[in-house]
Structure 1
Amino acid sequence: MSILKRVLTTCAAALAASTIAAHAETTIRLGHVLPETHSWHVAATGFAEEVAEKTDGRVTVEVFPSGQLGNEKEVIEGLQFGAVQAGVIGSGSFQFLEPKIGIIEMPYAWESREQAFTALDGDLGGALADLLDDKGVVVLAWWETGFRNITNNVRPIAKPEDLDGLKIRVTPDKVRLATFEMLGAEPAPLAFGELYSALQQGVFDAQENPLSIIYSSSFFEVQKYVSMTGHIWGAASLVVSKAVWDKISEEDQAVLREAAQSWAVKQREMTAEAEADLQAKLEEKGMSFNTVDKAAFIEAVAPIWESQAEVFGPELMKTLEAYR
């Protein structure tokens, strides 16, 4: 009877502890590198409010924009160990951690935003989320950065040869560097938070980003030409540290996933609505737009696909092609 009593007491204590843990308050610090005016921040703030309301305050999300918690690489490293609890991260930045994530941002991979959403909300996104889960990062939903275009201060870019010799800042991933080297430019990586001053000081001639980031980051103050290359469609992901995620109750995990996907839809809508009038706004700020020979660009970067096939593997490539 004495042994049975001790066992029952231990079980009761464990049950009580698990009940307390399930209802304990969790504070999640969520970082991203873009300014408060960007849709990432607007959606992340809405996500935070919804989570607080639907968990009755058991989970609180605090949003830190403009690189306050570090650049994207630093945030990702923090996520792995729980030092940073969550983030909205451009998918290309995960390549140092898992090179296969680069498949999203292969040059001219997507003909439309909708095509990419179908893939990321489906099997491709699921496969990539599994890869990041193994690295200690939980993907709650796929958000958007949009189609990237080239800006510079030297000349309009209409064909690949126009990039010859241009010093262009790119995100720090191998595919992006190789793409612009193949196009004849002189690419180099730089943290996003340092980009405006580098353009202002003439360290770089050019950069590439979606129109929403060009506008929200005031690059119109330090760049003249916008060439509508649309060379890459970029995803973002709302992610949580697995170390933190595993401490949240299943009930609250479901709330976070639902809110993340709900705000993914809203963030995508914000991006689409903004694109409709961003060109006019940037032209009002003095930027000059031009179209490009897209077929020539697609042909010029075709070898990148062959060179990366081994990195992604046949199974992931097959999954991608099913959506293309």
Structure 2
Amino acid sequence: MLRRIFLGLIGSCALGLAAGPTIAQDKVVTIRLASAFDQGTDMMRAAKRFADLVNERSKGAIDVKIFAGGQMGGEKDNLEALKLGEIEMAVFGTYPIVSLAPKYSFFDAPFVFRDKDHVYKTWDGKLGKEVRDIFAKSHGIHTVGMMGRGYRHLTSNTPINSVDDLKGMKLRMGQSKPFIDAFTALGAVVVPIALPELFTSLKLGVVQGSDGPYDQIYTFKLQEAQKYIAVTGHLYATSLWLMNDDFYEGLTEDQRKIVDDAAKEALAYGDELSVASEEALAEKLKAAGMQFTKPDYAPLMAKAKPALDKLFAELWSVTSADEIAQIR
């Protein structure tokens, strides 16, 4: 009789663990951390640091298991699983903002922010809090934090020394409306092309330039198809770390402190990694023969402003470019 009761209790616990993120205080708490990004990226190296810190400081009572490289699907799949409590944590780019809080998707738009510091101050302020509140109150998602991924720049066949050099230049962009509108306002001819087709398109002269971070430029071997990089820094890309809110709130106060402190350290480590990676990749691109120019950012931002103002009026009505510009 006692054996049947004991086995029944084990079965009940197993069902409870499978059904969702219920915390059993006398058992090991497992955090399944998923990401579409490869384990070799700075984001996932930082996530590994987070996992190591949590496992160490909890003395194994909290076990973080990482599923990188799309093992649990793409960003859309991870976000849905996170909302449902099928996973406890995930590392994204800015997809959750675009998907769940589209009126704030200026966080993923060019020429809105002056630099990295401006992005962080905006995220840590009123506008970022509004995004975090939408995540929590409307979607059951707790925001663990944000880390940097690096700046986006321009590659080209001819040097870009000023905004005037973009006039008539055929530039490859993704399907992002903010990018298309902003660079069209700068005088470029924007041609949407899928990334896998970019190298061939540059070699064949379908386009004369492209936009992207150093890791994209290097990974897709654009140094073999382009001669120049204009260091425009028109967007500082970021990564959002999110957790299922019911799971987070179900942790004990001590467990939450371990998770919070480990995340803070790991995100800072991730920022350091991204800075070091940018510097290292820039040197590699220079060694490969690419020449760097540094056009004045202010005229680029000013010329893109009318297009961005229209987007703020139509898509991002929660704020304006002028309000964001005043954040110091």
Give me the TM-score of the superposition, normalised by structure 2. 0.75
For 1:99, the equivalent position in structure 2 comes to 102
Aligned residues between the structures: 299
Question: What percent identity do the matched residue pairs reach?
Answer: 22
Distance 1:296 1:260 in 2: 38
- What residue in structure 1 maps to residue 10 of structure 2? none
RMSD: 3.3
User: Deviation of residue 218 (structure 1)?
Assistant: 5.0
Q: SS of the residue aligned with 1:80?
A: helix
Unaligned runs of 5+ residues in structure 2 are 1-15, 17-21
Contact 1:142 1:236 (C-alpha < 8 Å) held by counterparts: yes
Report what 1:301 is aligned to: 304
User: Cα offset for 1:278?
Assistant: 3.1
SS in 2 for 1:228: strand
| 1:212-269 C-alpha deviation (Å, 9 max, x unpaired) | 4544x35446642322121112222111233543444443233222211211222212
Inter-CA distance 198–68: structure 2 relative to 1 (3 Å threshold): farther
Of 63, 79, 102, 2:66 maps to 63
SS of corresponding position for 1:21: coil
Corresponding residue for residue 142 of structure 1: 146
The 5 Å alignment of 1:1-324 reads 21-24=24-27, 25-34=29-38, 36=40, 38-91=41-94, 94-133=97-136, 134-152=138-156, 154-158=157-161, 159=163, 162=166, 164=168, 166-170=170-174, 173-183=176-186, 184-188=188-192, 195=195, 197-202=196-201, 205=207, 206-215=209-218, 217=219, 219-220=221-222, 223-224=225-226, 225-242=228-245, 244-310=247-313, 311-314=315-318, 320-324=324-328
For the 8 Å contact 2:248–2:256, the answer to whether it is kept is yes
2:233 match: secondary structure: strand
Going from structure 1 to structure 2, the CA distance change for 1:189 and 1:246 (only over 3 Å counts) comes to farther
CA contact (8 A) 1:52 1:58 kept: yes
| Structure 1 counterpart SS, 2:236 | strand
Q: For residue 30 of structure 1, what is the amino acid of its counterpart? A: A
Q: Partner of 2:13 in structure 1? A: none
CA distance in 2, matches of 1:219, 1:69: 28
How much does 1:45 deviate? 0.7
Q: Taking structure 1 as the reference length, what is the TM-score of the superposition?
A: 0.76
Deviation at 1:141, TM superposition (A): 0.8
Question: What amino acid maps onto 2:234 in structure 1?
Answer: H
